[in-house]
């Protein structure tokens, strides 16, 4: 596992590749450019991002192609799957026009995101909508928003009013909107379903352990059992290091009297507990 | 934006301190001296122009890597910006560039590393080659420390798995899973 020895070149070797003179010359040339010239900042793209809460997880999940919605036990069905046959054909969004806007509200908060996408597309809109399980106080709020045309989409939030059956959230889209947008709302979680973290969610809140730092592993196990969460990964942490277990621990290796430093909802339907023999 | 002398002084300090680190970062991730020279010059040009945004102290290092990383990504997208600042540098680096040495390393470790998704390799390299901690990697990638921690764990685990299965695989390549530049 030694990535270090694959290093193509050390910093010292690199340093010898450029002469002192060339190095100084480059610095001089740079400093003769005007700092006030159009700075042309290097950016990822041309997206206007208003809210990027919870992005790291969301982005990682998207990259891995994993659906984060379902984290239930084997007997449960959550998220996008099988919510009764009557839902299969019903519209999952409602559209109405109002003052130059198309007002779109969610009819089925646990529909497959592909179905939202399709209904938006039927109205000529390239909008991706997701609803993800979050803590009760974040239900009905926006946890991620990315829009291409610089904040022209308005979101209709419904704090505390977004369950798995009824949810009042939606978006107001200017009728001439042509760009792409991606919006993620938080909705209430089902039993056994982990939260996707959002702004203000404390570490561990996603697994019902809001005061995680300092709790013991045994206490965490009790809560996980109550919440019917079975998929747990353990990461070892001891004084800032993951040695000697950089690849994590099995449940047998984890001692009940150890402390939980952090608990996060991972993809692949699992909770990740950061544990160690000492309080962090 | 302070008076010109202060600006120059601050830039010279940053340049002097981190030139080699950025050069090494860039050389490790480019195939040839021309690209390396352009990215190095562009990175410090951005630092000069956005001097007020460069974090103080050691935090400047991952910040510069972050700029270099985005510049490299633009390079790969074909959005090359020749600054004309770096001709001599190009010539010197063209001679000395090691041409991405790991690609020719025959060991099982190198093979396993190459089979990892690009995202994993990047994380492991930032830790193993640049010696960055999770917080610094988060600065480079523009994501949270927690996200780095989680991704690093997965990367290490996949790497370990690749190493274990190496002998069963004959030249099987895992297609790199691109994250599409969204960090």
Residues of B in contact with A10 (CB under 8 A): 24
Contact B157 A248 (CB under 8 A): yes
| Strands A101-106 vs A170-174: parallel, antiparallel or unpaired | antiparallel
- Interface mutation target, options B32, B85, B108, chain A, most CBs of A under 10 Å: B85
- Tell me how far the alpha carbon of residue B113 is from its chain's centroid: 16
Contact B177 A64 (CB under 8 A): yes
**A 172-231 → B contacts, CB under 8 A:** 203
pLDDT digits (tens, 9 = 90+) for B47-102: 998 898 899 989 999 999 999 998 888 776 554 555 556 667 777 787 777 655 44
Contact A63 B96 (CB under 8 A): no
Q: Where in chain B is the domain with CATH 1.10.1740?
A: 1-99
Exposure of B40 by Cβ count < 10 A (0-12 exposed, 13-18 middle, 19+ buried)?
buried
A253: preceding bond cis by omega (within 30 degrees) = no
SS3 category, B146: helix
Q: Where in chain B is the domain with CATH 1.10.10.10?
A: 102-174
Contact A7 B1 (CB under 8 A): no
Which residue in B86, B128, B177 is closest to A26 by CB distance?
B86
Distance between CA atoms of residues A270 and A4, nearest Å? 30
Please answer whether residues A117 and A128 qualify as being in contact, where contact means their C-beta atoms are separated by less than 8 angstroms: yes
Give residues with Cβ within 8 angstroms of B113, minimum separation 6.
A3, A6, B102, B121, B124, B159, B162
Please answer whether residues B95 and B55 qualify as being in contact, where contact means their C-beta atoms are separated by less than 8 angstroms: no
| Sign of torsion over alpha carbons A122, A127, A131, A132 | positive
Q: Which residue of A has its CA nearest to B79?
A: A42
Mean of the per-residue pLDDT values for chain B? Answer: 79
pLDDT digits (tens, 9 = 90+) for A202-216: 545 555 556 566 789
| Domain spans, chain A | 48-188, 205-276
DSSP A195: P
Q: Does A121 touch chain B (CB under 8 A)?
A: no
Tell me the backbone φ, ψ of residue A261, rounded to 5 degrees. Answer: -90, -30
Contact B24 A2 (CB under 8 A): no
Closest to B22 measured CA to CA, from B50, B62, B53 = B62
Structure tokens at A166: 């009824």
Alpha helices in chain B (DSSP H): 4-28, 33-49, 60-76, 87-96, 108-115, 118-128, 134-141, 145-165
Looking at residue B154, its pLDDT comes to 84
Looking at residue A72, its pLDDT comes to 32
CATH code for the domain defined by B1-99: 1.10.1740
Judged against a pLDDT cut of 80, whether residue B174 lies above it is answered with no
Question: Which residues partner with A173 through β-bridges?
Answer: A102
Q: Does A43 touch chain B (CB under 8 A)?
A: yes
pLDDT digits (tens, 9 = 90+) for B5-29: 889 999 999 999 999 999 999 999 9
CATH code for the domain defined by B102-174: 1.10.10.10
Which residue in A42, A57, A203 is closest to B147 by CB distance?
A57
Helix axis angle for B60-76 and B4-28, nearest 10°, is: 60
- Interface mutation target, options A24, A29, A62, chain B, most CBs of B under 10 Å: A29
When computed from its CA atoms, the radius of gyration of chain A, rounded to whole angstroms, is 24
Min Cα–Cα distance to chain B from A270, Å: 12
Distance between CA atoms of residues A258 and A216, nearest Å? 6
Q: Does A17 touch chain B (CB under 8 A)?
A: yes
Tell me: ipTM over 0.90.
no
CB-based burial, A175-209: b 16+ in 10 Å, e otherwise: eebebebbbbbbbbbbebbbbbbbeebebbbbbbb
Min Cα–Cα distance to chain A from B172, Å: 19
Q: Does B14 touch chain A (CB under 8 A)?
A: no
Please answer whether residues B11 and B47 qualify as being in contact, where contact means their C-beta atoms are separated by less than 8 angstroms: yes
Distance between CA atoms of residues A22 and B40, nearest Å? 12
Looking at residue A190, its pLDDT comes to 74
SS3 category, A96: strand
Structure tokens at A6: 């694959």
For residue A182, CA distances in Å to A62, A113, A150, A185 come to: 12, 11, 12, 10
- In this structure, how many other beta carbons lie within 10 angstroms of the beta carbon of residue A164? 19
Beta strands in chain A (DSSP E): 48-51, 93-98, 101-106, 126-134, 142-147, 154-156, 170-174, 180-188, 232-236, 259-265, 271-276
| Percent share of chain B, pLDDT over 90 | 32
Q: Does B145 touch chain A (CB under 8 A)?
A: no
Structure tokens at A104: 């779109």
Q: Which residues in chain A come in under a pLDDT of 70?
A: 1, 35-89, 149-151, 191-213, 240, 264-270
Q: In the A/B pair of chains, how many CB contacts fall below 8 A?
A: 167
Looking at residue A233, its pLDDT comes to 82
Find the Cα–Cα–Cα–Cα dihedral A134, A135, A136, A141, rounded to 10°: -50
- Tell me how far the alpha carbon of residue B82 is from its chain's centroid: 19
Q: Does B156 touch chain A (CB under 8 A)?
A: yes
Looking at residue B54, its pLDDT comes to 93
Min Cα–Cα distance to chain B from A11, Å: 5
Distance between CA atoms of residues A7 and A11, nearest Å? 10
Looking at residue B85, its pLDDT comes to 64
Contact B92 A22 (CB under 8 A): yes
Looking at residue B43, its pLDDT comes to 93
């Amino acid at each position: 596992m030694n990535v270090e020895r694959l290093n193509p070149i050390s910093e010292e070797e690199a340093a010898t590749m450029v002469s002192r003179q060339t190095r100084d010359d480059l610095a001089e040339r740079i400093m003769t450019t005007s700092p006030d010239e159009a700075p042309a900042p290097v950016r990822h793209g041309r997206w206007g991002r208003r809210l990027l809460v919870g992005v790291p997880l969301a982005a990682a999940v998207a990259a891995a192609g994993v659906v984060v919605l379902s984290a239930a036990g084997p007997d449960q069905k959550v998220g996008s799957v099988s919510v009764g046959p009557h839902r299969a054909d019903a519209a999952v969004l409602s559209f109405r026009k109002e003052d130059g806007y198309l007002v779109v509200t969610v009819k089925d908060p646990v529909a497959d995101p592909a179905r939202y996408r399709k209904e938006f597309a039927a109205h000529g809109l390239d909008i991706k909508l997701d609803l993800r399980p979050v803590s009760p106080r974040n239900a009905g709020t926006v946890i991620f928003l990315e829009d291409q045309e610089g904040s022209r989409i308005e979101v209709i939030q419904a704090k505390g009013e977004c369950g798995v059956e009824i949810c009042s959230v939606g978006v107001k889209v200017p009728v001439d909107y042509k760009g792409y947008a991606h919006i993620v709302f938080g909705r209430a979680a089902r039993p056994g379903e982990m939260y996707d973290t959002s702004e203000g969610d404390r570490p561990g809140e996603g697994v019902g352990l809001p005061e995680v730092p300092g709790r013991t592993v045994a206490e965490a196990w009790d809560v996980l059992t109550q919440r019917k969460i079975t998929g747990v990964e353990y990461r070892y942490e001891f004084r800032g290091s993951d040695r000697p277990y950089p690849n994590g621990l099995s449940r047998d290796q984890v001692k009940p009297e150890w402390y939980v430093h952090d608990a996060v909802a991972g993809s692949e339907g699992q909770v990740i507990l950061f544990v160690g023999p000492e309080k962090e | 934006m302070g008076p010109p002398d202060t600006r120059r002084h601050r830039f010279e300090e940053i340049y002097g301190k981190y030139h080699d680190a950025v050069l090494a970062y860039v050389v490790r991730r480019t195939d040839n001296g021309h690209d390396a020279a352009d990215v190095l010059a562009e990175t410090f040009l951005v630092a000069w122009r956005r001097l007020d945004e460069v974090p103080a102290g050691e935090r400047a290092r991952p910040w510069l890597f972050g700029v270099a990383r985005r510049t490299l990504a633009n390079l790969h997208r074909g959005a090359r910006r020749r600054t004309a600042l770096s001709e001599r540098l190009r010539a010197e680096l063209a001679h000395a560039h090691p041409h991405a040495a790991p690609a020719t390393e025959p060991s099982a470790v190198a093979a396993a590393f190459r089979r990892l998704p690009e995202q994993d390799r990047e994380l492991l390299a930032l830790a193993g080659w640049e010696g960055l901690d999770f917080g610094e990697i988060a600065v480079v990638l523009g994501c949270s420390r927690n996200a780095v921690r989680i991704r690093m764990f997965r990367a290490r685990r996949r790497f370990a798995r690749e190493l274990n299965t190496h002998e069963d695989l004959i030249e099987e390549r895992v297609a790199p899973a691109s994250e599409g530049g969204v960090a």
